[in-house]
Amino acid sequence: MGSLDGRVALITGAGRGIGCEEALFFAAEGAKVVVNDPGVEIDGSGGDTGVAAKVVEEIVARGGQAVANTDSVADWEGARRMVATAVDAFGDLHVVVNNAAVERNLGLADLGEAEFDDVVAVKLKGTFAVTRWAARHWRERYEAGDRADRAVINTSSGSGLLNPLPTQASYASANAGVAALTTVAALELGRYGVRVNCVSPSMARTRLTLEVPGMGGEPPAEGFDPLHPAAVAPIAAYLASAACPRTGQVLSVRGGTVTVNQGWTAGPAVHRDGPWTVAELAEELGAVPMEDPYDRLAEALGGALGVSGREQLQGMINALLDRR
């Protein structure tokens, strides 16, 4: 008996990478799966309907149940159709996993408006759109007396939450927005029996991360590969299971480590009764320690790069920004 027996799950971006591994794992755990993926390239161009179909074929060959959907999450009506696909094919929808993403890695000074918008449209607007249409279905079911457990698992990234990666202004911004959306949705949708959580993979080897420093190495010949995208799937499945009590949580996943994030936390403060002057702020805040973004980047990537010095990190950043 699997942990997801009887559950119907819609997984976006499920044709490759983390989404594909989640689809395969969910099906193995007994879920009926809608595999959504338009089969686009990393930057969102092109399209291949065979990408989603291939994952469906693999699930069915293993004895599972799945159907394909090739709509884009950035398309408002497409998001509605993929929710309808789940209901039409399997009679209901219990779980949404928002995994779809595209990337346009350019320095901020070179990133164009359309390139920024495209990334945000898929990652942030797409997460909202699919969740919104699912919420409409779940509200109707709840008001009709259905008290089944429902769950949304959003996908953020270390880029945007913990790792300030240069050239990812659009991707990091969208992922930070997804984490914020998670907490709001958890508060709003709880009244309908819907739990909303977020997984934030870091250092997972996918098409989107192969050019990140430290990610291009060969995987181990045998044993556990901490960078394999399959490491994320069990965490998503746990959050999707009806027995899971968690909601409003953002869980970072890095290999075999799962960290419960606590969002923005209040740090040191300065206070006065009345308005500040610039000189007073300069004196008081000048005595408060500042978290240097270079230190954060060194902590995130230093282990993989074997470097942590500011000059070496700046050299890496310059090399990334020079790729136009």
Give residue 5's pLDDT. Answer: 98
Give residue 208's pLDDT. Answer: 57
Residue (of 169, 185, 293) closest to 247 by Cα position? 185
Q: What is the tens place of the pLDDT at every residue in 169-191?
A: 999 999 999 999 999 999 999 99
Percent of the chain whose predicted confidence (pLDDT) is above 70: 85
Residue spans in the chain of domains classed CATH 3.40.50.720: 8-260
Rg, the chain, Cα only: 21
Where do runs of H (alpha helix) occur along 91-232?
A: 113-120, 126-143, 158-161, 169-189
Q: Which residues are catalytic?
A: 171
SS3 content of the chain, % helix, strand, coil (to 5): 45, 15, 45
Q: What is the tens place of the pLDDT at every residue in 190-239?
A: 999 999 999 998 765 555 555 555 555 566 566 666 667 888 899 999 99
CA–chain centroid gap for 84, Å, is 23
**Mean pLDDT within 44-56:** 90
CA–chain centroid gap for 289, Å, is 31
Q: What is the tens place of the pLDDT at every residue in 272-323?
A: 888 888 898 889 888 988 776 767 777 766 554 455 566 777 777 777 777 6
* More confident call, 255 vs 115: 115
Give CATH for domain 8-260.
3.40.50.720
pLDDT at 11 over 60: yes
Overall pTM > 0.95: no
Mean model confidence pLDDT for the chain: 87
- 248 is written with which tokens? 């409003």
DSSP annotation string for 278-305: HHHHHHHHHTS----HHHHHHHHHHHHH
- 231 is written with which tokens? 């490491």
* Residue at 65: amino acid letter: Q
Exposure string (b/e) for 193-210, b if CB count within 10 Å is 16 or more? ebbbbbbbbbbbbbebbe
Give the chain's length: 324
Unique residue bearing structure tokens 């960078």: 227
